[in-house]
Structure 1
Amino acid sequence: MEWKALIKDFKKEYGFDLEKDLKNVNMTSYEFVKILKDLSFDINSNPIKGNKVTSIPPISVYKMRYKDEYRHIGTSNAYRFHLYHKTSGRKPKLDLTEKEKKLVKKMVEDAVAQRR
Structure 2
Amino acid sequence: MTYDVDLADRLRELLTGEPGLTERKMFGGLAFLVHGNMAVAASSQGGLLLRCDPERGEALLAEPHTSPFVMRDREMTGWLRVEPAGVTDDAALERWAEIGAGYARTLPPK
Q: TM > 0.5 between the two?
A: no
| TM-score calculated relative to the size of structure 2 | 0.33
More strand per residue: 2
More helix per residue: 1
Higher relative contact order (CA 8 A, sep 6+): 2
Q: Which one has the largest radius of gyration?
A: 1
| TM-score calculated relative to the size of structure 1 | 0.32
